[in-house]
Amino acid sequence: MSASVGLPWYAPVARSRHIALTTYRKTGVAVTTQVWFAKDGDRLYMYTLLSSGKVKRLRHTSQVTLAPCTMRGVVTGPTITATARFVTERREVRRASLGIWRKYHGTMLAVQLLNTMQRWFRRKSATTLYISLEARPSEVQHDESTRQDAQAWDITPANLGDGHRPR
């Protein structure tokens, strides 16, 4: 957290149900994908399949950008930078999995059922990989534009909640 503002580094995306994750190809071309995420302490977690393009791009460079977005990937707020890291430690995988399950449990059941049916027909196994999104060291201190974005989006530590927008 930044002491000067009192907001976590991920404040611009904290209340969103989905985030637009931008990863970069070796050529530098940006590729944006809508992903599910969960918060745990000072980190955001997401998951994807080991065979996905995101994983290939993250092996090349761990630098990413994040922005709140709709279910269809339409960006709805400010962009922030982060560093992605593959989660390998069992306890951390469990925390990430539980956080995402709590946030998306109903939808996840349907997605897991579809993935299972696809595996039956393709006869391929799908390995899930969890990814930790962390503040880039130079990005921890919020600048004036981030403060204005946080105020515009009514983002305060008290109303960050569990990532769901109030109804």
Q: What angle do CA 49, 53, 56 make, to 5 degrees?
A: 95
Position 115, amino acid: N
Q: Which residues of the chain have pLDDT under 50?
A: 1-4, 139-167
pLDDT of 108 = 72
Structure tokens at 86: 């593959």
pLDDT of 6 = 63
Q: Does domain 11-137 have CATH number 2.30.110.10?
A: yes
pTM equals: 0.71
Intra-chain end-to-end CA distance of the chain, in Å: 27
Contact 23, 64 (CB under 8 A): yes
Domain ranges in the chain are: 11-137
pLDDT of 78 = 92
